[in-house]
Amino acid sequence: MVTNVPYALLPAGMVRFLYILRWQIELLFKQLKSILCIHQSHTKNANRLKCQIYGKLILAVILHRIHARVNNQIWKQARRELGFDKLYKRMQKRAFSLFRLILLSVEGAILFLSEEIHRLIKYCLKSRQRSRQTTLELLESGAEYHVLPIDTAYPT
């Protein structure tokens, strides 16, 4: 890997971990495209297109917040990770039920979703390869690296 950041600001060992974080952002965009089809539309009407894009982005934020929260809990309890694609596909199957519940009662929909999350977790865990660390494990192992603040690295 090549960088023009001075060593005082970014130790060589830290570059790998920053790349891992950057790669997670690339995976996020890949998920938005492949799972949520954010790059596709079947309309030529500008207003409908905006509505579709906003709707997909709102859905992406909601799903990612649910995923982040549940994934964090699972990681803390069992050191396992929740697959976003698996979670999305299962949520998609339950979307109409959830929508009906929202129309009847938001509280009922929240109750359904909170109960459903526990069932979803069981079927949405990522497969684990024992031969390599997960991204979270790699990032945890790199936690000993500390980047100096700019004012410390370049005293005036």
Could you give the count of Cα atoms lying within 13 Å of 143 in the half-sphere of its Cβ? 6
Could you tell me if 18 and 71 lie in one domain?
no
Tokens, residue 48: 């409908």
Tokens, residue 153: 């690295």
Could you tell me if 10 and 83 lie in one domain?
no
Could you tell me if 116 and 69 lie in one domain?
yes
- Helix (H, G, I), strand (E, B), or coil: what is residue 134? coil
Cα torsion angle, 81, 84, 88, 90, sign: negative
Domain membership flag for residue 136: no
How many domains are contained in the chain? Answer: 2
Spatial separation of the C-alpha atoms in residues 110 and 68, rounded to whole Å: 17
Q: Write down the residue that tokens 């459903």 correspond to.
A: 116
Could you tell me if 76 and 104 lie in one domain?
yes
The tens-digit pLDDT sequence of the chain (156 residues) is 778 888 888 887 778 778 877 888 888 888 878 877 888 888 889 999 999 989 988 988 888 888 888 888 888 888 888 888 888 888 888 888 888 888 999 888 888 888 887 887 888 888 877 777 777 777 677 655 555 555 555 454
Domain membership flag for residue 140: no
Tokens, residue 45: 């009407």
Q: 71 exposed, middle or buried (CB, 10 Å; 0-12, 13-18, 19+)?
A: buried
List pLDDT tens digits, range 111-122. Answer: 888 888 788 788
Q: Write down the residue that tokens 């790059």 correspond to.
A: 39
**Considering the entire predicted model, what is its pTM?**
0.68
Spatial separation of the C-alpha atoms in residues 120 and 109, rounded to whole Å: 15
pLDDT reported for residue 149: 54
Cβ-proximal residues to 16 (8 Å cutoff; 6+ apart), any chain: 1, 142
Could you tell me if 25 and 75 lie in one domain?
no
pLDDT reported for residue 104: 92
Could you tell me if 117 and 50 lie in one domain?
yes
Q: Write down the residue that tokens 């060992």 correspond to.
A: 13
Domain extent at residue 104? 42-126
Spatial separation of the C-alpha atoms in residues 123 and 93, rounded to whole Å: 13
